[in-house]
Structure 1
Amino acid sequence: MYVLVSPCILSPDLRARGITREEDLGYYSRAVERCRRFGIEIVPLPCPETLYLGHDREPGMFLERLDTARFGHLLGNLEAEVREIIRERGPPLCIIGVNSSPACGIDATWYGPPGSEEARRPGRGVFLSRFPEIPALDVADFARYRVYLAAPLFSRAEKEYNISLFETLSAHFFEVYLPQEVGDDTIHRDRKAHQDIFCRHLAAFGNTDVVVAVIDGADADSGTAWEMGYAYAHGIPVVAIRTDFRMA
């Protein structure tokens, strides 16, 4: 089990001069952390831009410096190297790239002259576009793997459904915080116990990248609604699941 990874995620100094932000470094670190957490081997891709332009380089667009026959030939050779890795190992889980990179972008790349309509082009970079059959994620998306599962947890059916979601998410390499597993599962507790549980849930939001919320029922559970609102107020994305066919 392995992923193919843009090499600058492991060695940020491979990127063009001055473009790496602290936020980027955080994404790189958490992406590596996720792989280690779930035993996913990291196989670095070659860096076409570094091999062609050198290590210490200014930022630039594809059309400015990479739109040459020599660079195209290099891409062909590097593709052959990666295809050989895939032949020996089997298909990877995915490719992890870096958006905006002319070679290894996922959803968008710096392509044409600055200020032009083609400056930022949607789609994969010129290297990763050679592997259309392999799923690809931007490192910022792959790094968001810590999930807070917000859901009603009062009946046996609700708790069993939550566990099934927990297992599904875990099988896809997400680390899931499940409130019912930390004592939030009975009415028989005093005020201090309530406060302790609340504080534990609140602390969990500090290590959460995304909230997955179950909003079944004629009305969404009030506690779940609060958790969704708290996440939204703190800039944490919320993904809502509703299987109930009734209009809420």
Structure 2
Amino acid sequence: MKIYFAGPMFAKADLLYNEYLVKKIRDLADSIEVYLPQENGAINDKTAYADSKMIALADTEKVLESDLLIAVLDGLTIDAGVASEIGVAYAKNIPMIGLYTDTRQQGADNQKKLQALGDIAENQFHYLNLYTVGLIKLNGSVVTNEQDFLDLIKKQLAK
């Protein structure tokens, strides 16, 4: 199975988290081939040069070759590149799994947090772009923890 890993990749923390997750995914089965864009030095060595067309062509080719796109949705907003990759996968009907671990989503049953939504500038929850999330949900699902994420990948392997 070919998996495209879409995730933010410009902060050291992002790079390390991506590596961590991809190792766990690769450990699931020998039949898994994960494309992690940050490992493609031809376009993502930030000390070198790659123009926008080179990056778009290289990553789009890998999205289109994939059997599954997985996306890390964490951050202030969904990373713009990740959102683009989700759009390409949706357009080609490639199954997707999103991982959204933001802790602010917890407490959905807490009445004080829910009541605070009526107060200006007191939203206790994090917002994700609903269009991008909808594209994932129309062709997959979004989970909130790494174990569910890995379990869904295993289910895709079994198909």
Residue 12 of structure 2: which of 147, 151, 156 is its match? 156
Q: CA RMSD in A?
A: 1.6
Residue 181 of structure 1: which of 31, 39, 44 is its match? 39
Distance 1:200 1:188 in 2: 16
Assess if the C-alpha contact under 8 Å between 1:153 and 1:185 holds in 2.
Answer: no
- Structure 2 runs not aligned, ≥5 long: 105-125, 128-159
In the alignment of these two chains, the number of paired residues is: 102
- Structure 1 runs not aligned, ≥5 long: 1-144
Distance 2:88 2:47 in 1: 23
Matched, 1:242 2:92: no
Bigger radius of gyration among the two: 1
User: What residue is the counterpart of 2:76 in the other structure?
Assistant: 218
User: What residue is the counterpart of 2:143 in the other structure?
Assistant: none
Distance 2:50 2:99 in 1: 32
1:94-243 map, 5 Å? 145-173=1-29, 174-183=32-41, 184-186=44-46, 189=49, 191=51, 194-243=52-101
> Residue 203 of structure 1: CA displacement?
1.1
TM-score, normalised on structure 2?
0.59
Change (3 A) 1:167 1:202: same
Aligned amino acid, residue 49 of structure 2: R
Assess if the C-alpha contact under 8 Å between 2:69 and 2:97 holds in 1.
Answer: yes
Distance 1:218 1:153 in 2: 14
Distance 2:95 2:10 in 1: 25
Moved over 3 A (4+): none
